[in-house]
Amino acid sequence: MRIGILGSGLMGGKLGTIFARAGHEVVFSYARSEQKLKKLAGEAKGKARHGTPREAARDADAVLLAVHWLRFDDVLEQAGDLSGKVVVSCSLPMNEENTELVVGRTSSAAEELAKKIPRARVVSAFNTVPSEVLFDVYEARRKASRPSLVYCGDDRRGKELAAGLIRDVGFDPLDAGPLRIARYTEPFALLVGQLAYEGTGGPELAYRFERFAE
């Protein structure tokens, strides 16, 4: 699959690298230095290169949106038309200081994003785990028990594609329902962040839901 990375920081850089190692064609874009994008593409190995957000989005089957909430408008403008594209967003609606959600309860970053690009297939995923755990999850992907990863969206095709990417990274995808469920998954991400960054065991933290049925 061809995947455009819009935002090549902690999340986009690592997820893009893993996607490339899993065999996808990846274009890294949107960082403050072209040198950084070039280095990411080089180190990802596989079929990775760097480009502008427009180049990353143009031929992509899916784009990963991994920027700060305050950068949404800028990166979307640079990416151009995303109609029909699957847009997997790992973004959270944080304030500038990254201390609080600025949208919640009656909406979510994912829903606000979908309003900005109504013809795209928006899926919210990967935002409930810290970037620090991603390579560990990928390394452990052949183990019997995988960590869960909740995702949500309104578009069936977009969700199928996102579930495949979630599996490629090494998680067990858990469909949480329509995009408005991001109102619950986004605050949940802050709980995971609290445990990861303020807990005692370090930030390499993922989670697993277990169902006990008869």
Ligand X SMILES: NC(=O)c1ccc[n+]([C@@H]2O[C@H](COP(=O)([O-])OP(=O)(O)OC[C@H]3O[C@@H](n4cnc5c(N)ncnc54)[C@H](OP(=O)(O)O)[C@@H]3O)[C@@H](O)[C@H]2O)c1
In this structure, are residues 37 and 56 in contact, taking their beta carbons and an 8 Å threshold? no
- Minimum CB separation of residue 4 from ligand X in Å reads 14
Q: Which is nearer to ligand X, 144 or 185 (CB)?
A: 185
Residues in the chain: 214
Half-sphere exposure of 138 (CA within 13 A, CB side): 17
| Whole-number Å distance between alpha carbons of 64 and 48 | 14
Q: Which is nearer to ligand X, 157 or 202 (CB)?
A: 202
Q: Which is nearer to ligand X, 80 or 157 (CB)?
A: 80
- Minimum CB separation of residue 34 from ligand X in Å reads 10
User: Which positions touch ligand X (CB under 6 A)?
Assistant: 7-12, 30-33, 36, 66-69, 71, 90-92, 94, 127, 130-131, 189
Residue whose structure tokens are 């819009």: 6
- Minimum CB separation of residue 6 from ligand X in Å reads 8
Q: What angle do CA 198, 94, 9 make, to 5 degrees?
A: 80
- Minimum CB separation of residue 214 from ligand X in Å reads 35
Q: Which is nearer to ligand X, 83 or 98 (CB)?
A: 98
- Minimum CB separation of residue 115 from ligand X in Å reads 17
Q: Which residues contact 162 (CB under 8 A, 6 or more apart)?
A: 62, 86, 88, 123, 125, 151, 153, 173
- Minimum CB separation of residue 150 from ligand X in Å reads 12
In this structure, are residues 40 and 28 in contact, taking their beta carbons and an 8 Å threshold? yes
Strands, DSSP E only, in the chain?
Answer: 2-6, 25-29, 47-50, 62-65, 86-89, 121-124, 148-153, 172-175
Q: Which is nearer to ligand X, 66 or 163 (CB)?
A: 66
Q: Which residue minimizes CB distance to ligand X?
A: 9
Q: Which is nearer to ligand X, 21 or 39 (CB)?
A: 39
| Whole-number Å distance between alpha carbons of 91 and 66 | 6
